[in-house]
Amino acid sequence: MNVREALQQRKSVRAYLNKTVEIEKINNILAAASHAPSGVNTQPWQVAVVSGEKKLQLQQQLEKAFRDGVKGKADYSYYPLQWVEPYKSRRIACGMQMYSTLKIERGDKQRQLDQWAANFRAFDAPVLLLFFMHAGMQAGSYMDYGMFMQSVMLAAVDEGLATCPQASLADYPELIKTALDYPQESVLLCGMALGYEDKDAVVNSYRTPREDVESFTRHFE
């Protein structure tokens, strides 16, 4: 598989097989991703690999907090405070595509709630990756981290695994840091589901569209 094929094959997977992911594969993925670039070679990534009983305990805490209406507060603002076009329309279309695929009606609040709650179980993937960073790092390290995470996802494809990067898993940083004994002053950027894709699951049957290169590119000669 070449890089272009991996880029095109990668997608956000929201249903996984109940199949253990070998530790060797996880380590291979992280070792490959560690070659991602970072400013002055800071390598700001700190990764928690959560599986087994620890994952069950953590996801139960997270889902309970969500269903109890506890409003968590992420360590940083991922999304804009006010949406503008074309990003507003793309966001709406993304949500509608998933809900229409799952046949969840606009007024079906319970199914919408249940689908969102699945985020906090990492969609029942066998492995949850959580990405931390030292609080003193600045905006450049967020860029570095993005390149690292993309490398994780591409390396996972190469290992026959699927992923879903999840900003929602950063909604309860205090809870997660306490459970995993990470410093409260560290930054929890997000999480990522990792496992073998359930290719029969309806939720995995759609792909979000991408803009044509011409729409976001200007050439200067």
Handedness of CA 149, 19, 123, 67 (dihedral sign): negative
Closest CA to 162 of 203, 132, 131: 203
Note down the domain range covering 84: 3-14+23-46+59-121+141-209
Section 126-131 average pLDDT = 98
Question: What CATH number does residue 86 fall under?
Answer: 3.40.109.10
Whether 54 is in a domain gets the answer no
Section 191-216 average pLDDT = 97
Please say whether the beta carbons of 129 and 49 come within 8 A.
yes
Q: For 165, list phi and psi in degrees, rounded to 5.
A: -70, 140
- Give the model's pLDDT for residue 1: 84
Residues 155, 1: Cα–Cα separation, whole Å: 11
Whether 136 is in a domain gets the answer no
Q: Is the pLDDT at 106 greater than 90, yes or no?
A: no
Whether 216 is in a domain gets the answer no
Whether 173 is in a domain gets the answer yes
Section 22-48 average pLDDT = 98
Q: Is the pLDDT at 126 greater than 90, yes or no?
A: yes
Please say whether the beta carbons of 22 and 159 come within 8 A.
no
What domain count does the chain have? 1
Helix, strand, or coil (residue 200): coil
- Residues ≥6 apart with Cβ < 8 Å to 129: 47, 48, 49, 50, 152, 191, 192, 193, 194
**Paired tokens of 164:** 């879903």
Whether 215 is in a domain gets the answer no
Section 199-221 average pLDDT = 97
Section 30-37 average pLDDT = 98
Q: Is the pLDDT at 30 greater than 90, yes or no?
A: yes
**Paired tokens of 38:** 């970072």
Whether 154 is in a domain gets the answer yes
- Give the model's pLDDT for residue 27: 98
Express each pLDDT in 58-105 by its tens digit.
999 999 999 999 998 999 999 999 999 999 999 999 999 999 999 999
Residue 84 class from Cβ within 10 Å (0-12 exposed, 13-18 middle, 19+ buried)? exposed
Q: Is the pLDDT at 55 greater than 90, yes or no?
A: yes
Residues 118, 102: Cα–Cα separation, whole Å: 14
Check: pTM over 0.75? Answer yes or no: yes
- Give the model's pLDDT for residue 40: 98
Whether 205 is in a domain gets the answer yes
Bridge partners (DSSP) listed for residue 195: 162
Residues 145, 204: Cα–Cα separation, whole Å: 26
- Give the model's pLDDT for residue 169: 95
What confidence tier does 152 reach under pLDDT thresholds 50, 70, 90?
very high
Query: What is the overall mean pLDDT for the chain?
Result: 97
Whether 52 is in a domain gets the answer no
